[in-house]
């Protein structure tokens, strides 16, 4: 027996399974949900805030893709933050302080973040290239237009 298991909060509260939403009042950490068999790793009330990292990661990842055409200025930092938050979310899930159900969002955030970083980087590179071409044309025009 694992002596570390602490009882779930008082039976007056409604504690729901993180996977199926079944009322699991009375279960202890490490026991399995009678409805879907998912092991109870944490209290739902503790995890509501912690999944914010995964949500933030996913939202920023999507934002970074959507805004990559805006010169990459918004998309690049958003994509980087999305990847960082995805890693934090994954570590939190491993540590048991974030719901396992947020794993999908964290993965989506990481993938979207990387796509945003790549697209935004290409956009920045393209802009730099266009500026160089423009400056080069100006320089060529200036030297070639002499009398």
Residue numbers at the binding site for Zn ion (CB under 5 A): 17, 19-20, 22, 33, 35-36, 38
Q: Check residue 10 and report its DSSP letter.
A: P
Select 19 or 107, whichever has its Cβ closest to Zn ion: 19
Closest by alpha carbon to 55, among 116, 117, 118, 98? 98
Select 28 or 134, whichever has its Cβ closest to Zn ion: 28
Select 17 or 81, whichever has its Cβ closest to Zn ion: 17
**Cα separation of 53 and 4, whole Å?**
27
Q: How far is the CB of 46 from Zn ion (least distance, A)?
A: 17
Q: How far is the CB of 59 from Zn ion (least distance, A)?
A: 27
Cβ–Cβ contacts within 10 Å for residue 15, how many? 19
Select 30 or 136, whichever has its Cβ closest to Zn ion: 30
Q: How far is the CB of 87 from Zn ion (least distance, A)?
A: 28
**Cα separation of 31 and 144, whole Å?**
81
Q: How far is the CB of 6 from Zn ion (least distance, A)?
A: 19
CB 44 within 8 A of CB 13: no
Q: How far is the CB of 58 from Zn ion (least distance, A)?
A: 23
Query: Beta strands of the chain (E only): which ranges?
Result: none
Tell me if residue 16 falls in helix, strand or coil.
Answer: strand
Q: Which two tokens stand for residue 129?
A: 């290239």
Select 17 or 65, whichever has its Cβ closest to Zn ion: 17
């Amino acid at each position: 027996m694992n002596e570390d298991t602490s009882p779930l909060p008082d039976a007056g509260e409604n504690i729901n399974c993180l996977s199926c939403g079944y009322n699991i009042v009375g279960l202890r950490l490490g026991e399995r949900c009678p409805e879907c068999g998912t092991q109870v790793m944490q209290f739902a009330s503790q995890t509501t805030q912690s999944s914010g990292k995964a949500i933030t990661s996913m939202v920023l990842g999507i934002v970074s893709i959507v805004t990559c055409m805006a010169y990459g200025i918004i998309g690049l930092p958003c994509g980087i933050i999305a990847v960082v938050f995805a890693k934090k979310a994954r570590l939190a899930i491993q540590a048991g302080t974030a719901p396992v159900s947020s794993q999908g969002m964290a993965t989506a955030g990481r993938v979207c973040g990387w796509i945003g970083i790549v697209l935004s980087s290409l956009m920045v590179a393209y802009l730099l290239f266009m500026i160089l071409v423009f400056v080069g044309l100006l320089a060529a025009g200036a030297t070639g237009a002499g009398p």
